[in-house]
Amino acid sequence: MKLTILGCYAATPRTLTNPTAQVLEIRNRLFLIDCGEGTQVQLRKNKIKFSKINHIFISHLHGDHLYGLIGTISTFSLLGRTTDLHIYGPKGIKELILLQLKLTESWTTYSLFFHELESKESEVIFEDAKVIVKTIPLKHRVYTNGYLFQEKPAERKLNVEAVQYYNVHVAYYQKIKNGGNVTLDDGTVIENEKLTFDPEPAKSYAFCSDTVYNEEVIPIIANTDVLYHESTFLDSEARLAEKTLHSTAREAATIALKANVKQLILGHYSTRYDGLEPFKKEAEQVFPNVLLADDGLSFDL
């Protein structure tokens, strides 16, 4: 699992900072999460292949998470894309994109599927053989979801020496990898754990931006490997965070602690602050394992 931060600053794109967008690579799938203005250029700068992105998840319809979407969709077309593109986001996103395509008379060269969200409960919105994606309802000034990306448990790994020792026929390999036991011709049952190794554990990633401090997310993201949680402000601006329905670094860390996640990544910083280190220091007072997102950074998770 690899996370690339394309942009992680609040409000407006600036000379050296970009609004929210990130790419999650998980089991060979590439998911684009949020799409602030300039995202397509950030994708290029980070050498991420446009053609590998088939799913885009938009948290909410605020410009700093959205205004790069129409350009990204259009550029995919200009490059002659033919693969389906799926877009997940709040109700209204379809009308927004279709009107722009209509008025600019620029239809896509590929099929565009919209999955509009309006539920206030967490729901599964994507599932295939290897990955499952659920919404994380957040509390912000407009309808907002975070997203929880979970790998499905992988197959058990075949213990090649063991299956050869017991002379197990190749026809049983898939059954064994699925966790099954094997009965030999003489009736002996060989337990699965003698024939396999544990697979790599299934990883998970939770994206929470933008939101006020909200303990309702805790059961949804409990025990997640990596949590990205917005920290627009520091504790000194806690009242402003509450007023604008954003979080402080301390609050992000409190959610990480209570949800028992393994790692916290902070982001969505207000550009009022000069450096990022104070965010890390503040969060570490509550939760030990804190990383700072920054534009262009990649995390191997």
Q: Measuring CA to CA, how many Å separate 131 from each of 28, 138, 204, 228, 241?
A: 10, 22, 9, 18, 34
How near is the Cβ of 43 to its own copies at its closest, in Å?
A: 10
Q: Would you say 233 and 240 are in contact if contact means Cβ atoms under 8 Å apart?
A: yes
Q: Is 64 a catalytic residue?
A: yes
* Residue 140 assigned as binding residue: yes
* Residue 64 assigned as binding residue: yes
How near is the Cβ of 97 to its own copies at its closest, in Å?
A: 10
* Residue 268 assigned as binding residue: yes
Share of the chain residues as helix, strand and coil, in percent rounded to the nearest 5: 30, 30, 40
Q: Which residues in this chain contact its own copies in the complex, by CB under 8 A?
A: 11-15, 37-38, 40-41, 44-45, 61-63, 66-68, 70-71, 74-75, 78, 92-93, 95-96, 99-100, 103-106, 141-142
Structural element, H or E, at residue 70: helix 69-78
What is the rounded (10 degree) CA torsion for 111, 6, 120, 270? -150
For its own copies, the closer of residues 60 and 134 by Cβ is: 60
* Residue 210 assigned as binding residue: yes
| Cα–Cα nearest to 72, from 95, 102, 44 | 44
For its own copies, the closer of residues 70 and 168 by Cβ is: 70
Directed axis angle between helix 277-284 and helix 249-258, to 10°?
40
Q: Would you say 40 and 73 are in contact if contact means Cβ atoms under 8 Å apart?
A: no
For its own copies, the closer of residues 83 and 285 by Cβ is: 83
| CA–CA distance, 205 with 133 (Å, rounded to integer) | 10
For its own copies, the closer of residues 64 and 282 by Cβ is: 64
For its own copies, the closer of residues 70 and 265 by Cβ is: 70
Residue 274 burial (CB count, 10 A): 7
Annotated catalytic residue: which of 64, 128, 185, 295?
Answer: 64
How near is the Cβ of 60 to its own copies at its closest, in Å?
A: 9
| CA–CA distance, 197 with 184 (Å, rounded to integer) | 20
How near is the Cβ of 68 to its own copies at its closest, in Å?
A: 7
How near is the Cβ of 127 to its own copies at its closest, in Å?
A: 28
- Cite the annotated binding site for Zn(2+) by residue number: 60, 62, 64-65, 140, 210, 268
Residues marked as binding? 60, 62, 64-65, 140, 210, 268
**Would you please indicate which residues are annotated as catalytic (active-site) residues?**
64
